[in-house]
Structure 1
């Protein structure tokens, strides 16, 4: 049996023991906690720890308590129709008078009584509308239910003390529910009353130091001999392991890592990528635009902005709006990193990658998330072709253990030709799209100062790769709390 030196108790624990000394025996621990403003779970845990076994005997008692549900709490103490019924009994009958008394609540009150067939609406020869009680027992039953509802709000009660019919009706409406839990009765043992408690100081404050008060107070002792609990260490998440594995793979392939900001301008996210300003991907149904800041400045290089504007207006036969290009958004992909890198290097050969979060206004389902990671890769040089692209992607997936890949032609505003990459997913017995790729178009490369070179690039979904590697059925499982994965 565990014991504890009273001097080692916390002030909260000592306060609880003082209450037991004052109120013991305690027929209901729950009631004691309600009356004294204590946390029931704290008191229960303290008692069940065994530390109070030398002083208090604990007995479990089944408890059934009726409680107001969140739906019932929204009624603010009044059942629908009850206030209207009271006004009708007081002699208010015309609709105008009742609306004046109830205000905007009149419609709901009338609807409740009318649905129960307790009242009906009548209109006299002068066009004055009134309410007439058609079934007085309906109002009587509602009064009984209201009285019980008010009782439960004031003090939850055991089931054997309540009127069963109103109780059943309130439960059917979803306004009350039965909470079944254990309560405890506490019986003091003789050593409890002779137990002496002294509150020790637990914190050395600046006031104690400056006033020299630390010399006269009694500090709470700490047992430094207790064994340290063996707490299992954490482990990386699936996504963390995948990111590190893929980062290592790119570095061994001779790539340099690049990065960017979460908040991006539409200029770098769309316009510099030769995406027209009326493209569906730029609508709020797909992209998260910001309210603060609502806009970001365009690049300081006016020549770059002019070249992007000219290529848009020449190929898309319409005006290019700087205001649309300056809109602030959460990056929808990591390709803005690539666009900035192309502009920075001005066509110098190189290989770059990034692994970072992107944000899209997607409907979350088994294979889609609104926030996910994209693996970006780009190779800049001469004599690059679509076969070069397929070679890089084939080697990349082969190193991850994928054998069954498919490439499918597709369309992207900034790559031509373009390929979607599919990999086989055993749990669903189907191929999942795991990435998009292609060769950057001249219309994108030339404004960025890379018109003399070629560039191949890809954007791959990290979560979908993890889905395939670990045989998981849904993307949401990768970021949930199920540690078995």
Structure 2
């Protein structure tokens, strides 16, 4: 039974059109002619709302349509262009190549696969000889059928052999569309559709006309769909959680540049210019721009040069130091901040992206986030460093930590930080840490201070927090974690 007040505008318009004609031979054509969405009207019809008002009989229409492969050939079946030239008596390969251009090889290959043509040499002239003239004529026929299908021709009038060949080659496919023939019953022809107002406007209210019109009722108690709302990604949640921890520990946040000079990324950090980490196998060097200017402070550049040549020997070059790179770590931000502060104490952190030319696997990415931290003061030691890191990881819920001696050019002593990863039942390296060397600190104005610093991998920490087996479960277009996933 029709619920007249609940009819939408399109449904009312459809019923009014049906009342003007006793039959509809094709519902699909009727919808196209009057601007209705066929799927919407089809759903209205099959819902049973029109039962007793309309009888319908299902009838399907069958058509041939182009496949994506057929769309890609640009309206012409490969082979037909050469077949038409050959049927006109043109055989010289040079002439055919000049007329067909880049299409010659594709067309020749199509005909050659059917053994319809071959290349022969006659003296200094190369000719395309025809072995099967019937195949060339078939290609012309196939092109005519292909063009007809592209323009929506009825399938009853198409050459069956050409259609079969086009289908086997993957240029066309059969499409069956559901359709209906409608017969309007007397109950619908005599049905009166009162005007219903679907929108209560200020004009209706002010004029008082809302009391004279029939308003469409709304059930405010109807269930609404459960629409998934937007939310931060797991990495964004992790970043915010870590940021809150450092801010509560009294740290100030710092930032840096994605594109750095090798000077700030390596040289200031007491990394020799022949260090393996500076090779293209490990670092992304830019082509545009290839170089970045060195700092205006010539005294800083001179001190860095003196420290390198005094400790590593050889000749330190500004050309190598000025090369532009995608930063390999956020410690370059720490170096810039120390240079700006010129000997002042403080605690700073950053969470930012870094880039390394690494093989992507379960636990490695070429682009990832690093959690940088530095504390500048007096009488700082390895015990101070381990205390900060243990407190930080405990705030995240990690109880199983290990510290292992390591080597870094700019820290001494150096420690690797490892945390237990339950899915793989082993300890994963989650960061590097240490006390900055005096050779690094002195040019930056911190020769009389001690520092502790660390660089931790955000994605590795997220793997531990969310019990993720591989990094690809956290990033990229194919994240398949349950939307209720929360950190341990």
Above 0.5 in TM-score?
A: yes
* Contact 1:420/1:433 (8 A) holds in 2: yes
Matches within 5 A, 1:34-53: 43-45=38-40, 48=43, 53=49
**SS of 1:450 mapped into structure 2:** coil
**In the superposition, relative to structure 1, how do residues 331 and 92 fare at CA in structure 2: closer, same or farther (>3 Å)?**
same
* Contact 2:273/2:320 (8 A) holds in 1: no
* Contact 2:350/2:371 (8 A) holds in 1: yes
Identify which of 391, 394, 399 aligns with 2:390: 394
Which residue pairs with 1:128 in the alignment? 125
Instruction: State the alpha-carbon separation in 2 of the partners of residues 401 and 456 from structure 1.
Output: 23
Which residue pairs with 1:25 in the alignment? 24
Identify which of 143, 146, 149 aligns with 2:143: 146
Which residue pairs with 1:383 in the alignment? 379
TM-score when normalising by structure 1: 0.75
* Contact 2:473/2:481 (8 A) holds in 1: no
Matches within 5 A, 1:67-466: 67-124=65-122, 126-155=123-152, 166-167=162-163, 169-177=165-173, 183-185=178-180, 187=182, 189=184, 190=188, 227=220, 229=224, 233-276=229-272, 281=277, 298-314=294-310, 315=312, 317-321=314-318, 325=322, 327=324, 330-360=326-356, 362=358, 364-466=360-462
**SS of 2:268 mapped into structure 1:** helix
* Contact 1:274/1:414 (8 A) holds in 2: yes
TM-score when normalising by structure 2: 0.75
**SS of 1:84 mapped into structure 2:** helix
* Contact 1:335/1:459 (8 A) holds in 2: yes
C-alpha displacement of 1:37: 11
C-alpha displacement of 1:292: 7.1
Instruction: State the alpha-carbon separation in 2 of the partners of residues 290 and 202 from structure 1.
Output: 62
Instruction: State the alpha-carbon separation in 1 of the partners of residues 199 and 116 from structure 2.
Output: 66
* Contact 1:7/1:198 (8 A) holds in 2: no
C-alpha displacement of 1:85: 1.6
**SS of 1:422 mapped into structure 2:** strand
C-alpha displacement of 1:451: 1.7
**SS of 1:333 mapped into structure 2:** coil
Compare 75-84 and 431-440 and name the one that shifted more.
431-440
What CA deviation, in whole Å up to 9, does each residue of 1:140-185 have, x standing for no partner?
Answer: 5544543443233222867x886666555545544445567x6343
* Contact 1:72/1:175 (8 A) holds in 2: yes
Which residue pairs with 2:210 in the alignment? none
**In the superposition, relative to structure 1, how do residues 129 and 26 fare at CA in structure 2: closer, same or farther (>3 Å)?**
same
**SS of 1:427 mapped into structure 2:** coil
**In the superposition, relative to structure 1, how do residues 237 and 103 fare at CA in structure 2: closer, same or farther (>3 Å)?**
closer
**SS of 1:93 mapped into structure 2:** coil
Which residue pairs with 1:212 in the alignment? none
**SS of 2:444 mapped into structure 1:** coil
**SS of 2:352 mapped into structure 1:** strand
What CA deviation, in whole Å up to 9, does each residue of 1:287-337 have, x standing for no partner?
Answer: 55667777655444443333334434553623422685273x554432222
**In the superposition, relative to structure 1, how do residues 444 and 238 fare at CA in structure 2: closer, same or farther (>3 Å)?**
same
* Contact 1:56/1:186 (8 A) holds in 2: no
Instruction: State the alpha-carbon separation in 1 of the partners of residues 473 and 190 from structure 2.
Output: 51
> If you compute each CA radius of gyration, which structure gives the higher value, 1 or 2?
2
**SS of 1:120 mapped into structure 2:** strand
Instruction: State the alpha-carbon separation in 2 of the partners of residues 106 and 293 from structure 1.
Output: 42
Q: Where do 5+ consecutive residues of structure 2 fail to align?
A: 208-213
* Contact 2:400/2:420 (8 A) holds in 1: yes
**In the superposition, relative to structure 1, how do residues 57 and 472 fare at CA in structure 2: closer, same or farther (>3 Å)?**
farther
Q: Where do 5+ consecutive residues of structure 1 fail to align?
A: 205-214, 216-220
Identify which of 465, 472, 483 aligns with 1:469: 465
